Amino acid sequence: MEEGNKLIITVLGKDRIGIIAGISNILAEANVNILDINQTILQGFFTMTMVVDNKNSSLDITTLREKLSKKGEQLGLQITTQHEDIFKYMHRI
């Protein structure tokens, strides 16, 4: 896979039915491929990190970010979408 096509999506909020479905439906409609996903529930709080490939996406990152954020508001979640370069820069030691 080419570098520069990955996005990191993080999700945090109270656990409820439909979180993964709501997010993955947006990604599928935009032709964004899920490469890796890690989710857990800690004392009723849902946390998820996804690595996705947006190379063939029908949406630019700004529009995708807005759609995911709006879904987060509907589900009572905080959803952030970052380009892999920004994520790596922010989390370097």
Handedness of CA 82, 88, 52, 54 (dihedral sign): positive
CATH topology of domain 6-90: Alpha-Beta Plaits (3.30.70)
Residue pLDDT tens, the chain, 93 long: 455 689 999 999 999 999 999 999 999 999 999 999 999 999 989 999 999 999 999 999 999 999 999 999 999 999 999 998 765 556 565
Please state the pTM of the whole predicted model.
0.86
Q: Which residues of 60-91 are buried (b: 16+ CB within 10 A; e: fewer)?
A: eeeebbebbeebbeebebebebbbbeebeeee
Q: Where are the domains of the chain?
A: 6-90
Integer Cα distance of 37 and 58 in angstroms: 21
